[in-house]
Amino acid sequence: MTRDDHARLAFATRQLHAGDRTPGPHRPRATPIYLTAGFEFDDFDQAHARFAGTEEGFSYTRVGNPTNVAAEERIADLESGVGALLLGSGQAAVATTVLALVSAGDHVLASSSIYEGTRELLRDDLARQGVAVDFIGDPNDAAAWDAAVRPTTRLLFAESIPNPKNDVLDVAAIAAVAHRHGVPLVVDNTLATPYLLRPLEHGADIVVHSASKFLAGHGTVLGGVIVDGGTFAWADHPDAYPQLARQRGLDGLTFAERSPRTAFLDFARRVAMRYGPVPSPLNAFLIIQGIETLSLRVARQSATALQLATWLERQPGVESVDYSGLPSSPHHAVAARYLPLGQGSVFAVTIRGGREAARIFTDALRLFTRMTHLGDVRSLVLHPATTTHVLRDEGQLAAGGIGQGLLRLSIGLEEPEDLIADLDRALAAVAAADLLSTVGAS
Ligand SMILES: *Cc1c(COP(=O)(O)O)cnc(C)c1O
């Protein structure tokens, strides 16, 4: 099958066949797990050639591994990228991306509607390395992004579907701002997955994922991935990105000259090789296996999420539901443009009665699992104000729209009626506690 034939195949077909290789004499149908630290060299000269980069081939799993490469090729294909790099976790993917683009004295501009771990990484850990960061309160306020870009800004960072507020990103609008200033837009596409949205097709330059979530899908392993769109012209900005467009290797070439389309990815691979956040090939295998059912899971999970969000919004014990699939959401119009196949399956519900109501509701659930994770085949519940966002004070929580009654739900593959019965039981437990008359609504 040629590359062009392959490009015409549908998503559901490519999630099974992209990057599929059956090497070796035994022709295994599934991707083999190459659980090995290193790979033999035939002789003295081959060892040198592998290290000098004059011959393709594997040497050591921190540098590359066939199972990991199979996962990379499949994800790159599904995201419409030119290549991908698999890492040990989503945080490793975010950190490696930023480390590959910034030097001390540089600046990062990020949406404030991002994963809390990423926000803390940018704000605390990168600051310690001399990298400044500013956050944009409304991710779709193009003028605010535009005004905050500095001469030292090296990337714009946002999430396609932020949690818990579901303020869906207008990818094309923010990509346009980034490109006007000659910097790339990096999009964390974890909650959308390439089945619902491919940010590279809307102008983003780099996509990152926590593969621990929907890609692996079953709550078993951690993983992360960086996908390069291959379109950003690094060679035009040697002062901003000297590591890509000025510094020369042994062959006398810069990364941008050696491979214009994958210069960023090749450099990120070197950053990862040096810092070492590599995935186990066993985890790569489980991520590949998860991806084979991605479209089926995500379509069903999104449909169930919409059904549950619609039901929840009608319950008297519910103050509000933040789900871009609902017509009541201020982000419904952007979602309709970018997420026609479904709006994802992670959303927030705010229970009337504040933190005490959230506690009673959470503890009354029997089917939903109390857990900090999302994108699992099982439905999960978490109280952000006391867990993921525990380092925020009241003012910062309010600025993020995260009230004490707000719960994050990640909808799994259970029968929707069973999930509704569970939510109904939890709302009944809150009502029975009669908080509103004794404590007063908060
Ligand atoms: C979970 C998550 C991360 C971090 O990924 P890990 O695999 O847990 O390191 C980053 N971004 C988003 C949107 C996430 O949901």
- pLDDT the model gives residue 27: 86
Residues with CB under 6 A from ligand 1: 89-91, 115, 117-118, 159, 188, 190-191, 210, 212-213, 222, 224, 374
Residue nearest to atom 2 of ligand 1 (CA): 210
CB atoms within 10 A of CB 59: 16
Q: For residues 129 and 2, which has the higher predicted lDDT (pLDDT)?
A: 129
CA of 90 to the centre of ligand 1 (A): 5
Whole-number pLDDT of residue 167: 96
DSSP classification of residue 31: P
Q: What would the mean pLDDT of 396-420 be, rounded to a whole number?
A: 95
pLDDT given at position 345 = 98
Mean pLDDT across 244-251:
94
Which of 291, 311, 338 represents a domain boundary (last residue)? 291
Structure tokens at 177: 């701002």
Q: ω into residue 164 within 30 of 0, thus cis?
A: yes
CATH number for 145: 3.40.640.10
Q: Assess whether 284 and 318 both reside in one domain.
A: no
Contact 357, 389 (CB under 8 A): no
**Percent of the chain topping pLDDT 70:** 96
433 and 325 in a common domain:
yes
Give pTM, 2 decimals: 0.96
CATH number for the domain that contains residue 312: 3.90.1150.10
Q: What is the pLDDT of residues 285-302, one digit of tens each?
A: 999 999 999 999 999 999
Contacts (Cβ under 8 Å, ≥6 apart) of 190: 90, 115, 159, 208, 209, 210, 213, 214, 375
Of 255, 273, 291, the residue that ends a domain is 291
CA of 190 to the centre of ligand 1 (A): 7
Residue 4 pLDDT > 80, yes or no?
no
Mark whether 114 and 195 lie in a shared domain.
yes
Report yes or no on 1 lying in a domain.
no
Spatial contact of 171 and 140, defined as CB atoms under 8 Å apart: no
287 in the same domain as 301: no
pLDDT of residue 442: 47
pLDDT of residue 8: 83
Mean pLDDT of the 185-214 span: 98
The rounded Cα 62 to chain-centroid distance in angstroms is 22
Q: What percent of the chain has pLDDT over 90?
A: 89
Query: Between vectors from CA 101 to CA 96 and to CA 104, what angle results, nearest 5°?
Result: 100
User: In this structure, is residue 5 part of a structural domain?
Assistant: no
Our mutation pick for probing the ligand 1 site, out of 87, 89, 91, 347, counting the most ligand atoms within 8 A of Cβ, is: 91
The overall average pLDDT reported for the chain is 95
- Verify that 106 and 207 share a domain, yes or no: yes
pLDDT tens, position by position, 251-283: 899 999 999 999 999 999 999 999 999 999 999
Q: Which atom of ligand 1 is nearest to the CA of 91?
A: 9
Q: What's the average model confidence in pLDDT over 342-359?
A: 97
Secondary structure (DSSP) of 170-192: -HHHHHHHHHHTT--EEEE-TTT
- Measured from the Cβ of residue 27, the count of other Cβ atoms closer than 10 Å reads 7
Do both 323 and 340 map to the same domain?
yes
